[in-house]
Structure 1
């Protein structure tokens, strides 16, 4: 039985004019349990909500009569020139949202001159995604208990032409996903994390009465630490970014360990609830990194003004997650391309009205402070 309730839109209606407009048509097309998995968050969804509202508390300063000729949104990351700083965040099992899954998303990102971070748990093989889309790909990775299999994944990503590895470090265990529990989510058998085929499973563990379900489990014993980051860095030629950092001390340690970049992220509110918004955590991480490596961020980006605020606080680029999945579910590759186009257009308008010709012009001076009133 299909988990799709309606086919994707054949044409994008003129009523869809911003990222948020894709959420309703996406929800109409996906079964309730799948929607809870794709769009839900941990516990009470407080972190998810805070990611959004924290951006709204920041205000921009307009500047007039600025020289705008020759302006652009281009950015260079790890030797790759991108047309804009909007990367597609790693999202697992995208065939849950649309039959074309990750290939549709990658084609859209490529067409718009951007990059996509492919999830290790993608529902399409990394080789097939790379063959279908000429644009730059990065590969998201968890360091698995099966280290031999992890290394094989790294080699596959390298051979497929991926230009960076993004290691998720904030999810050694899954969050408390009450939305999924209430909706009774069960992954359809037709959609699977195909890149993980052949991985050795963890031994089954059932907690005895009075025993910890987490700390006494094989998962806790196999959770990666800083030693595993050093192991990975010594076994790949690709730049390695650590994704899921909020604390400046962790950011500083990551740079000292050899990380090529930091992604400030709270996993979209999907792991631990009541964490701070990523835009609020960003400035302290940027200070700790002190320009030694690029700092990226995700979480709560819904407008071009959000992108500009992140850049003003020190981010080199941002990653977009849920809005991409909404657009994918609603309209496939054209929807994702339309979404990225809208966000880039909004960014350009925001830059022009704040006097920025280039992304490098965005500094904290763009943010309104009460003392200026």
Structure 2
């Protein structure tokens, strides 16, 4: 990451994010609102630790000199199996020196320039969801993710997403207990299968359920017709003492791979981490906090450049593990 981007981001987020050399949640544990993990920070740490313990098999006797890092998601070809994860709250999580509108524009525009998509978020202030929709409409693509509000409210927001030209839409059911939503008088909570089925059937857009951490709920997502799931503990921001996403991903993929598109997030920092998540069963990976730093420090160009850096790291890692395309990345890459 360029020094000037890091310095500008640190200055703009002073008091909210230290923009640490290693973004591992140690310096910001318990800071919610803010950029940290909830409580002891254990769930944030677990995301990092679960990926760190995955080791890769180096394989260099092969013909794959120019690996294909692209992937197809929802009928769209992405240059790299990475999207910006849904994030809002510039005002109370990131310091507010970059507006909600500008933050959404940076991640949406930068993602599209990199030939990928940003997921945009939802929050206690209605302008947070609307900022994402405006950016999606302006730049021509993105995926809004809605908090688990009442179904009546979610259905309204799905219709707004359709009008804005969203590629897909979803609900981050892992936001069911978010403190920040409660503090702002915006009720959120868990959903029944019946409620979720109503949401899935309300739209022709691919529907994503974000916040799946068990095989049972992954199978429920398939049953109700969801097109994708995100294996995620919400960046460690909602429930202390969760396992890391990479810990639970293999068992989930074993049951539902091929039946539903599998996204995964949590602690992904490098192209090697992307390779690991794909080898464990993901189809595509979401990255959150590092893109915040890039957006604050470098705007849309910073976001685009980070995609390029991740893509270059993945490309090199694929050469060194013998993978000619993202479709060839599987469990054989992982050292057991």
Deviations 1:208-262 (CA, angstroms, capped at 9, x unpaired) = xxxxxxxxxxx58x64322210111221111111110111011111101111111
Choose which of 74, 94, 104 in structure 2 pairs with 1:78. Answer: 74
Match of 2:27 in 1: none
Q: 1:39: Cα distance to partner?
A: 1.5
Q: 1:149: Cα distance to partner?
A: 3.1
8 Å Cα contact 1:98-1:332 kept in structure 2 = no
Asked if residue 273 in structure 1 is aligned to residue 256 in structure 2, the reply is no
Match of 2:60 in 1: 64
Match of 1:258 in 2: 225
Deviations 1:9-48 (CA, angstroms, capped at 9, x unpaired) = xxx84x47xxxx84x6533322415775341110011111
RMSD: 2.3
8 Å Cα contact 1:75-1:82 kept in structure 2 = yes
Deviations 1:61-110 (CA, angstroms, capped at 9, x unpaired) = 11113212552111111111111111010001346362421101111101
8 Å Cα contact 1:297-1:318 kept in structure 2 = yes
Bigger Cα Rg:
1
User: When the two structures are superposed, what TM-score results if normalisation uses the length of structure 1?
Assistant: 0.77
Q: 1:306: Cα distance to partner?
A: 0.5
- Structure 1 residue matching 2:216: 3-state secondary structure: helix
8 Å Cα contact 2:105-2:132 kept in structure 1 = no
Structure 1 unaligned blocks of 5 or more = 1-11, 178-185, 188-200, 203-218
8 Å Cα contact 2:120-2:129 kept in structure 1 = no
Structure 2 unaligned blocks of 5 or more = 19-30
Asked if residue 286 in structure 1 is aligned to residue 292 in structure 2, the reply is no
- Structure 2 residue matching 1:32: 3-state secondary structure: coil
Paired with 2:224 and 2:158, the residues of 1 have a C-alpha distance of 19
Choose which of 133, 136, 156 in structure 2 pairs with 1:130. Answer: 136
Q: 1:163: Cα distance to partner?
A: 1.4
Asked if residue 151 in structure 1 is aligned to residue 155 in structure 2, the reply is yes
Deviations 1:258-299 (CA, angstroms, capped at 9, x unpaired) = 111111000000000110000111001101214211111000
Match of 2:25 in 1: none
8 Å Cα contact 1:91-1:321 kept in structure 2 = yes
Q: 1:332: Cα distance to partner?
A: 1.7
User: When the two structures are superposed, what TM-score results if normalisation uses the length of structure 2?
Assistant: 0.85
